[in-house]
Structure 1
Amino acid sequence: MTLTLLSAALYAFSLLCLGSFAALFSIRWPAVNLYLAEKEAHELLSLNFIKTPPKNSVFGRSYCPHCHHTLGWKDTIPLFSYCYLKGQCRYCAKAISAYYWRIEILFLITGLPLLWLPLSLYELILNTVIISALLSAAIIDYQHRLIPNECSGLAIAAALALNIGTPNLDASILGVLLGYAIVALLRECYLYYRNREGIGLGDAKLLAALGAWTYMESLFSILLYASLLAIVYTALYYKTGGQNIPFGPFLVISGIAHFY
């Protein structure tokens, strides 16, 4: 793919848009799923459920969390609207969280190096989808200890589509199966010996996605470096012990680093 200044600028803006959506998704998806889980639990127990549903669905219009005014397109241009409005809502002048632009910058930094790889437009789009799905999963797991099936499933589908018609398709499929099996086996062993859950199946699906993307031979390296990162993080931030840490972000960091 021929790289021009215009195409690079358009791609960079696309990454910012993906980051903006991911930031919104990481806030709304947990809220919607928590509401649905509580509703289902009440229905199973035949209890009344009167909790008000979230204001907007995952794909609803953006609005100010302070004044609840629906935002127009001029208020939601990634990064630029935040700078132009000086970090304030146009309608109530309350501060806009820096969370949004930080996620947008994260997507920009992580995805922009794809432009310098020898990829076709088809490969660029699918790799962008994979990285975006993985980052979204990592953000939500870090905040809520949950990994959306939507993120893992999208990454797996994009990785398999990337290898359709190539000699790597078998390795990609085996990466899915082996990635899931490794974590599922570790989970069962820990559950058997310690009588408690040590790692969730969300991590199994995430490693399956990484296996589909980077193939089965890379899985043990990804798992090793993710474990080392988790150990360092635990030593630095969880000195009291006894607390569960999300493993998904370390898998994603290790997987993306391995890909590059």
Structure 2
Amino acid sequence: MFYIILMYMFVFIIGICIGSFLNVCIYRIPREESIAYPPSHCTSCGHRLGVKDLVPIFSYLFLKKRCRYCSDEISSRYALIELAVGIIFLLISLKYGFSLETLKYTTLMSIMFVIALIDLETMEVYFKITFFGAVCGVIFLVIEGVTKGYSLNNYLYYLLGAVFPALIITVIILLTKGMGWGDVEIIFVSGLFLGFKLSFLMIFISFIIGAVISIFLLWSKRKGRKDPIPFGPFIALGTFFAILMGDSIINLYISHYINMI
């Protein structure tokens, strides 16, 4: 038991460390900056950060929310993102154990996290991120195919999971123009990881979450009827719920349907 607890703690630590890197991606990609160079530095004074300044979450707390070099306040967003990614990694590992599925889905959610927050801030979806996500999806599909002995039908299951939902969003865009073409890219990437059944559930959950939040924003007058609302965060949330609860929801629906018959 102690060994298992240590393993889950390790997964959480890996998650917050990945979250620290995702912070860099979220900040730099919209600014067309390299995510590798220059090294991490204070965005206020430009001073290069040392190792003791870069410990996820703890540096933020120990430095009392201020830069060690210029005393400018550090946004709490960075620590919250690190914590959120750590929790996401932990929940996925609790669901799938220490397996290839955990690696696959934590990779997917890392990509979706970056896409969602950039979309939320800028209303932009960057092709370089979705392309990277699609490449990762293909790599995992090949690895699973080799390790699990996939047939052609298995590969088609995941490819259709990417293509069909993307086509649905394409039709919605052509008919209503209520969504953006970047949403097609995000749906494609998510579906490539999730497969046919979970990808449709992901869309369904995304629209429900989107509708609820949009109604709340309109009701609270934080958004007007003509104000655009990014859909990327809703897809990310739908993907997360599909990963954690998708199989249970589908099985519950099927059992309920059978009982009705």
TM class by smaller structure: 0.7 to 0.9
| Map of 2:158 onto structure 1 | 172
Q: Distance in 2 between matches of 1:122 and 1:218?
A: 17
Query: Which residue is equivalent to 1:244?
Result: 228
Q: 1 CA distance for matches of 2:124 and 2:55?
A: 28
Kindly provide the amino acid, as one letter, of the partner of residue 216 in structure 1: F
Q: 1:75-107: per-residue Cα shift (whole Å, max 9, x none)?
A: 111111111111111111221111100111111
Q: What is the aligned partner in structure 1 of residue 34 from structure 2?
A: 57
Unaligned runs of 5+ in 1: 33-55, 191-196
Give the corresponding residue for 2:190.
210
2:50 matched to 1:72? yes
CA deviations 1:163-216 (Å, max 9, x no partner) are 3313532211111221222212221222xxxxxx42111110111112112212
Q: 1:110 to 1:118 in 2, by over 3 A?
A: closer
* Aligned twin of 1:46: none
- TM-score w.r.t. the length of structure 2 is 0.81
The residue type paired with residue 92 of structure 1 is C
Distance 2:85 2:25 in 1: 14
| Corresponding residue number in structure 1 for 2:78 | 100
Where do 1:118-133 residues align within 5 Å? 118-133=96-111
Question: Corresponding residue for 2:254?
Answer: none
Q: 1:3 and 1:150, CA in 2 relative to 1: closer, same or farther beyond 3 A? A: farther
Alpha-carbon RMSD: 2.0
* Mapped partners of 2:96, 2:197: distance in 1: 22
Q: Displacement, 1:6?
A: 3.2
Residue aligning to 1:35: none
C-alpha separation in 1, matches of 2:101 and 2:135? 13
Structure-1 separation of matches of 2:47 and 2:84: 27
Shift, 1:112, TM fit: 0.8
> 2:64 is paired with a residue of what secondary structure?
coil
> SS in structure 2 opposite 1:4?
helix
Q: In structure 2, how many angstroms separate the alpha carbons of the residues matched to 1:148 and 1:26?
A: 11
Q: Measured at CA, do residues 224 and 115 of structure 1 come closer, stay the same or move farther in structure 2, by a change above 3 Å?
A: closer
Match of 1:18 in 2: 18
Distance change (3 Å), C-alpha of 1:104 and 1:5: same
Q: Which one of the candidate residues 232, 235, 253 is aligned to 2:215?
A: 235
Conserved? CA contact 1:156–1:212, under 8 Å: yes
Which residue of 2 is the match for residue 48 of structure 1?
none
- Per-residue deviation, residues 211-259 of structure 1 (Å, max 9, x unmatched): 1122123333322221222122122113431111001111110111011
For the 8 Å contact 1:179–1:210, the answer to whether it is kept is: no
Letter in 2 for 1:170: L
Residue 121 (structure 1) shift:
4.1
Task: Using the aligned pairs only, state the percent identity.
Answer: 25
Residue 143 of structure 1 pairs with residue 136 of structure 2 = no
SS at match of 2:157: helix
TM-score of the two chains, using structure 1 as the length reference: 0.81
2:235 aligned with 1:257, yes or no? no
Q: Point out where structure 2 has 5 or more consecutive residues left out of the alignment.
A: 245-261
The answer to which structure has the higher helix fraction is 2
